[in-house]
Structure 1
Amino acid sequence: MSKIKRYFTKKKEEVAFRLRLRSGMGQGRQLNSAQPYATPSILRRIRDAHVPPQRNQQRDETSAAAAAAAANAVLASMLRKYSSPGVSISQAAPKPKPEQRELACEGVFFRCPELSPEVLSKQSWQLKIKDMLHRQLANERGLAGCLIIHNCNPIKEAGDCRDALVNYLEYLIHSPGDEQFSKIRMSNSIFNDKVRHVNGALDVLYAAGFEQVDINGEPFLVWSKEHIEMDLDMLLDTLKHTQPIELILDRNKKVLQPIRQIPIQLPDDFFRISAKDTSESIQMPDSSIYSCTLIRIKFPNGLHLQGTFDVNDKVADIFDFVQSCLTDVTLQFDLVANIAGKLDGGDMDKTLYDCKLIPNAVLLFVVPGLDDSLALGSAFIKEQQQQQPL
């Protein structure tokens, strides 16, 4: 049995178990209670469709562009030195390309442990999940349709569609013989606005037993018991409790050597809006402009530990990140910000936005009571973490 089929079989068994609980085996949870029901779903689907991580590719492209810019600069210098009087540089050679920004990191990346160990951009994950779900429609149209609604549409559209579909299914379950609930006019304003054009919605209705027919030249969806592909109670429960597949922000961890100082310039993925529009959004709160922040922790020996965080992550997340990279994970340490001062216990539940640690910040790593001379020679960070020069 394939991983994908095992996954859907498991999901149907879980839903069936909840339905049995509600029918008398015990106290079940409320149908409208939130639960990340479908999050584990994709694990078994995507592992066979490998998409190479994009981070190395982006790094190669950046290196090639930097090399080209350096070559142009050398050429311009030579022409400037040896060109005869009266011949302008623009006449002697093409203008070099504008200098490329030297970014502090390649971008913002995510993990999805339920699916694969890959680290990809959000867009790459969205395309991968969408492709996997659409390929599964032929095998499990009802379950795949529910997942597509929540993972391939804007949040509001997905929520409005789910609510409308829940109403349709509940009417059928409670009044299966009532003709007014077994026929949907496709030109109906509610259906047309909230259901018809939402990815996955028609697949859920088809799995419930509807099929499209023309009545007097007008399109309708008409339900019949013979066309049911998935038990209606199970489909309704799945529709109510399916959640978007969770992507976990990757820290994109780096240990940087203090060879030369590079200003922190961030790639466009750190912004909720286009970076070029940032100057026009001065009146907007920073939490609306930035989605992520780049945090660097400076150690006494000059090394910098760098990681990517969401602006709504907590200060405690930074401490956990630093501790996971230490040679001695039991070491007690403080982090000191230039503006906020030492971050203490009262700051742990504050967001990075609340502490003004956006869009980037440098924190000092301090070990209380440790002599400065000893601190300079100490290897705080695990050797395998030390990779890129700064």
Structure 2
Amino acid sequence: MTIEVTALLKRGTVFLAGETLHCDITFKNVGPVQEGPDSLSWASAQINCQCSVSESRVFLPRMHQLSSEDISTSSDTSFVPSKGERGLTVLSTKPRILFCDLRIDPGQSKTFTYSEIIPVDAPPSFRGQAVKYSYKLTLGTQRLNHPTKLLRIPFRVLVLHGLNDLSVYLDPEEVQPSNPFLLSKKEDTVMDVALHILETVTARKGPHSYNITNTRGRVARCILFKTAFKLGEDIIGIMDFSDTTVPCVQYCVTLQSEETISEECRKKNTQGSSLTSYVRHQDMCLHTLKSHFSIPVPLTATPCFITDIVCQRWRLHFEFVTSNDAMQGETRTNEDGSTSWRGPASMNVETMVWDLPVKIFPSNPVHASSVTLLKLLHTVNV
């Protein structure tokens, strides 16, 4: 006798903290008809977040660990969702019992819907060099006098702070007074509020100009139209070399994330941050008045966040190759009257770097689900 258990995340595998996760769980008796009906003693589901750390770089105080009393498990079952999982359980919702003593005839199936709100203060899904947060919906079920079978459904969580207070992100003039003569609007969902916040904080509010100089003078001027971006957006900027005193041969822009362990969790007091590079743009700019760059923010990346253990920030890392000497070369006039210039065989150059912090916010989780490698459908036989 065999019962097939199927779990389906219909909306996708990416959710915002504060959203309600819905999962359809189907139990089907796929055994032969002659064997008659089959039954399961119980089934329960629970959401857990596991935190794995690099033991050589991170020390976790006891306060960051959930005790066995904190991890809610049913006393009359052996349902332990974190059993066999690596790392520490840092978030665990209360288990939901789907049924007790379910009887299914051959060929028959029964579907239950599991719903759970992902806590607003939950950490985001993150895979860093020293810390990893991973989420799973764990389904446990048991046949009488048999061991418990677990089905784990991984999913991704994005965190957007301020979902409970939209006024934090709005300018005073954007807050409209209430009108007692208008019909009350339907209350916005978490997704509606989140999308409103994202549109507000990532809106273009005027260009930002930065003068880049070294000890010998001005190298370039960088212009960004905004400094806050959503996952999947393009960071577009302009490099202006029209009014400079130091010749720039080439420049490079790299989008980087910076992972910093909190002081109380560092293995060594002297250890620094870990950098991860994503997208790189390089351009030759000698004798160029203006140049532009476009850096896409990956949908699979983790936005800015901070927990008791780790903090992640984002930045644009610039590298400029400048010439120490005046530009020399061979100039000649062609037969058609045009002029061509041949650069020198060698140049005396130096490299300077400059880092510009940027803010990266989540995107619509539906869009993020379109590029994820996580499966919507999971199956196990009991």
| Pairwise TM-score range, normalised by the shorter structure | under 0.3
TM-score normalised according to structure 2 size: 0.24
Tell me which of the two structures has the higher relative contact order, counting C-alpha pairs closer than 8 angstroms and 6 or more residues apart: 2
> Which structure is higher in strand share?
2
- Compute the TM-score of the two structures, normalised by the length of structure 1: 0.24
